[in-house]
Structure 1
Amino acid sequence: MEQETKVEISQALGNIQMVSQGKYLGLPMVVTRSKQQLFGYIKDIIQQRLKRWKNKLLSAAGKEVELKSVALVMPTYMMSCFKLPKKLCKEINSIMANYWWGEGNGKNKMHWTSWSKMSLDWKTGGLGFKDLGAFNTALLGKQVWRLLTQPNLLVSKVLTNRYHPKESFFKCKVPENASWIWKGLMGARQLIEKGVRRRIGNGKSTKIWEDSWIPDNHQGKVTTHKPQGCNLVKVDEMII
């Protein structure tokens, strides 16, 4: 807002002090439309932190602990709110891979295996490093589940009234002017939809042929086609 408006509001609220752009839990307090402003500093922070560590003095186990407990944890809060660009995830993976394999004479040493293989589970031959893209989707999916199961939360009410006041969360469209937070949550919608099932209750709000309500079914939907002349629409019509 304009400077005059800021001063007027500050005086009306008891001469509170105006603050400039800052951060809260690692996130910028003012989110702009610039992806570089929002996501760029994550890569910079990880890169600066890795430069402080003397990887020549660490064993492979020491590097593994530092990457998993520090580098991979730093963007966690950001990934629980926003969908990180694929390019950024690749750049962060590249930074960590270079740190893992080390450098000599100012050049990165040869990478004897890809980072994707190192991100596999121990049982499948990997080292258990997190796949940032999958981890990001999982964190966003957790937030989606929270919105679905706790509709009385303030954030749930705000997002529902803003983006799908009359439609289901799984059927609403994503407007072009939607916030990055909402677009990120929509990126995890498909993942949640595969596993979510409706509670029947009295069955008056569950559609027989369209909703996912069968627990032991892969898709949760009725597999048979709707017979011709069938007038059954809601599950409550099947309850005797």
Structure 2
Amino acid sequence: MEKSSVFFSRNVERQAQIEICRSLQGVKVVKQGKYLGLPMIITKTNEQIFGFIRDKCQKTILNWRNTQLSQAEKEVLLKAVTMAMLTYAMSCFKLPVRLCKDVNSLIARFWWGEGKGKTKMHWVSWKKMTTAKKAGGLGFKDLQSFNKALLGKQIWRLLTCPNLLLSKVLRARYYPKTTLLSCELNGNALWIWKSLMSAREEVQRGARKQIENGKSTRIWEDAWMLEESKDDMEDAPLQWDGLQENGREY
């Protein structure tokens, strides 16, 4: 409990806050802050809140500019360090498009280098650089697609692990009487839920429901499979936007 804290919206009365904290063994009230490096509360100005990601990437790349690096060394640093810095945030939130473009520009400028204080010419487009190496590209991740893939992986986890605390909380809050793939998006939902819902369509295209007792299956709306087709799907990969997981049923 000493590591815990509670956040109240402005609609909760002061006396109610005191009583709740007292019932929680004196847990402290926290305002806007960060947990594991991410903001706890996302407001409408989400681009400003996620600006620390851009600043962190820019600071890291600036530290490398004073060193003589080959193209191979630059590739390793950009893929193993810079892009890895974004992975945790992209697993929880949908980053603003403007932020993704800014980080892509930082990576591209560092890759092509600078001469006499000016950025050198970019001989190929960023889209070509994000193409797989076997297709003639450089294998850099397209941040928007990678962001959507990571969020889709979280949706898949909610579907296949319904007994997790996170699954129970989100189900009670957003889809108590329906399913994750068919619930409607509430306009006043939290940013993390809106982020997850932005990747739902990609998961729906690859997911199939295994028929058991059939009580929760809508025969005309849900994508489902018969029991005898389970073995055929066992080794089939489920893919969306570059993310690949072993075929599973929910």
Quick check: TM above 0.5?
A: yes
Worse overlay, 203-212 or 105-114: 203-212
Could you tell me which residue of structure 1 aligns to residue 58 of structure 2? 47
Question: Whose radius of gyration is greater, 1 or 2?
Answer: 1
Change (3 A) 1:112 1:56: farther
- Within the candidate set 200, 204, 226, 1:193 is matched to 204
Three-state SS of the structure 2 residue aligned to 1:80 is helix
Q: 2-side partners of 1:204 and 1:94: how far apart?
A: 50
1:38 matched to 2:20? The reply is: no
1:150 matched to 2:150? The reply is: no
Q: Higher strand fraction: Structure 1 or Structure 2?
A: 2
Pairing of 1:201-212 with structure 2 (within 5 A):
201-212=212-223
Change (3 A) 1:165 1:16: closer
2:176 maps to amino acid: P
Three-state SS of the structure 2 residue aligned to 1:74 is helix
Q: 1-side partners of 2:132 and 2:154: how far apart?
A: 25
- Within the candidate set 103, 121, 126, 1:115 is matched to 126
Could you tell me which residue of structure 2 aligns to residue 133 of structure 1? 144
Change (3 A) 1:49 1:122: same
Question: Runs of 4+ in structure 1 displaced over 6 angstroms?
Answer: 13-20
Pairing of 1:1-240 with structure 2 (within 5 A):
12=22, 22-54=33-65, 57-214=68-225
How many percent identity over aligned positions? 55
Q: Where does the alignment leave 5 or more consecutive residues of structure 2 unmatched?
A: 1-7, 234-250
The answer to whether the 8 A contact 2:42-2:190 is kept is: no
Aligned length: 216
Q: Where does the alignment leave 5 or more consecutive residues of structure 1 unmatched?
A: 218-240
Q: 2-side partners of 1:9 and 1:105: how far apart?
A: 64
Q: 1-side partners of 2:200 and 2:115: how far apart?
A: 45
Give how far 1:54 is off: 2.7
Aligned residues: CA RMSD: 2.7
TM-score by length of 1: 0.80
TM-score by length of 2: 0.77
Residue by residue, what CA displacement relative to the aligned partner does 1:101-135 show, whole Å, maximum 9, x if unpaired?
11112111100001110111110001111111111
**Relative contact order higher in (CA < 8 Å, ≥ 6 apart):** 2
Q: 2-side partners of 1:172 and 1:210: how far apart?
A: 13
Change (3 A) 1:56 1:108: farther
